[in-house]
Amino acid sequence: MYTLAIILVMAAGAYLFSRQRAWALAGGRSSALHSRPSYHGWHAALLSGGPAILLVILWFLFAHSIVGAIVSAGLPEAVRSEPSGALQFFMQDVRRLATGLPLGREASPEALDAAAAYARAMLAGNWVFGIVGVLLAGWLGWLAYRKVDPQFRARNRVERWTDYLLLSAAAVSVLITAGIVFSVLFESLRFFSMVSPLEFFFGLNWSPQTAIRADQVGSSGSFGAVPLITGTLLITCIAIFVAGPIGIMSAIWLSQYAPRRVRDVAKPLMEILAGIPTVVYGFFAALTVAPFIRRVGEALGLNVASESALAAGLVMGIMIIPFVSSLSDDAIKAVPTALRDGSYGLGATKAETIQRVILPAALPGIIAGFLLAVSRAIGETMIVVMAAGLAANLTINPFAAVTTVTVQIVTLLVGDQEFDSAKTLAAFALGLFLFAITLVLNIVALYILNRFRERYD
């Protein structure tokens, strides 16, 4: 942290000195320079600060992995020969000890030694990289300072570098996607080396058992994801049944019938529904809707689980109303006025025009909106975590408790975990599945939208 601050100060100094020198060389007339003095300053600041800061940040990011590797290579033979799970566990302890966090139990002498080595290596690394960074900043800053000259094309250089900086910022989004794909894919492949994909995608039984030790007998539960997928689909279907009609009808009314004043009030109000955090919907589903449905069900003589799919689905439906509504609204607005006027000209009423002309013309956009809403519902987590069940029941009865993909990811990963067990890795396999499904839905929706747009432009 201090290193970064020192380098930043040095870069600022390089900026000031170089600008000063440029002024001095120009004799106070900026027309004598190719580039304005502040560009000479920026040139020096970027040259001195950029590479040094990059170096220090890279060290911060990977220090933990590098030092960990060094320390574990230097461990006594007895510790190193242990199974990889135990070794990982050991290294976790070492890290905690090295950073001064309480372990909560007696530490073994090997762990204490390794922790001391870890802390030493970390400190040495911090010093080495800190000093190298500062020296690098100073050297490059000096070089840039020497380069200041009325003929020097500082602006062009600074602009080229800025261009690269902007490009790398844009590339970060690709890095994120790559990060998602690799982190999820990598762990999923490890999972599929333990559990066959056939069982995962077609197995009807889901019960990831909690194993206390990785090498325990019978620690591998059954990982058939079908009940999770049907559960997710059931809740999503209920949500779409709620949000679809309400969303489309309100979009129609707001765009075609509502007086301007009412629309100006009602539209933002409906948008609020999209801005409410999902945990609030979870609260609503678990504490208000679920007991209500249970009471109503009991009054009707039905057997309703207290964590019924219906409650979670209904509330999720409320949540996605604004998505359906605003996307349908866009689609309806995109229908050319000529079609509408033609229909009125033939004597059709407003409702007939909407039903027979506007809706068919807007259909691709509405379907795309539905697909986006479905992908939103499938990936939704908090409502189902709080209001849907944990038991993986294979059923389509909306009054029964079902579980979903997201609920299982949360239950598998919350709390203490071991990074090697099939149980933890299963969460990543489910995550990969979720990512793939939502990706496909989004791509299809975008494709439909693009086709639709081309028709009238």
Partner 1 sequence: MTDLVSNGGRFAAITQRPPRPEAVVAAHTRRRYARERRFKLIGMGAVILAIGLLAILLATVLSSGAGAFRQSYAVLDVRLDPAKIDPSGNRDPEVLADADYQAVLNDALVSAFPDMDDRQGRRALRAMLSAGSAIQLRQMVLDDPALIGSTVPVRFLLDDERDQYLKGEVDPGIPEANRRLKDRDIALIDRLAEQGRIETGFNWTLFTNADSREPEQAGLRAALVGSFWMMLICFFLSVPVGVAAAVYLEEFAPKNRWIDLIEVNVNNLAAVPSIVFGLLGLAIFLNLFGVPRSASLAGGLTLALMTLPVIIVVTRAALRSIPPSIRAAALGIGASPLQVVFHHVLPLALPGILTGTIIGMARALGETAPLLMIGMVAFIANVPSGPLDPATALPVQVFLWSDSPERAFTERMAAAIIVLLGFLIAMNVIAVLLRKKFERTW
- Shortest Å, Cβ 449 to partner 1: 11
- Shortest Å, Cβ 93 to partner 1: 14
- Shortest Å, Cβ 85 to partner 1: 14
Query: Do the beta carbons of residue 214 and residue 421 sit within 8 Å?
Result: yes
- Shortest Å, Cβ 402 to partner 1: 18
Q: Closer CB to partner 1, residue 278 or residue 397?
A: 278
What Rg do the C-alpha atoms of the chain give, in angstroms?
Answer: 31
Tokens of 140: 């490059």
Q: Closer CB to partner 1, residue 56 or residue 354?
A: 354
Q: Closer CB to partner 1, residue 22 or residue 254?
A: 254
Q: Closer CB to partner 1, residue 151 or residue 173?
A: 173
- Shortest Å, Cβ 375 to partner 1: 6
- Shortest Å, Cβ 138 to partner 1: 25
Q: Closer CB to partner 1, residue 17 or residue 429?
A: 429
- Shortest Å, Cβ 177 to partner 1: 5
Nearest to 322 by CA among 378, 270, 260: 270
Q: Closer CB to partner 1, residue 289 or residue 400?
A: 289
Q: Closer CB to partner 1, residue 10 or residue 285?
A: 285
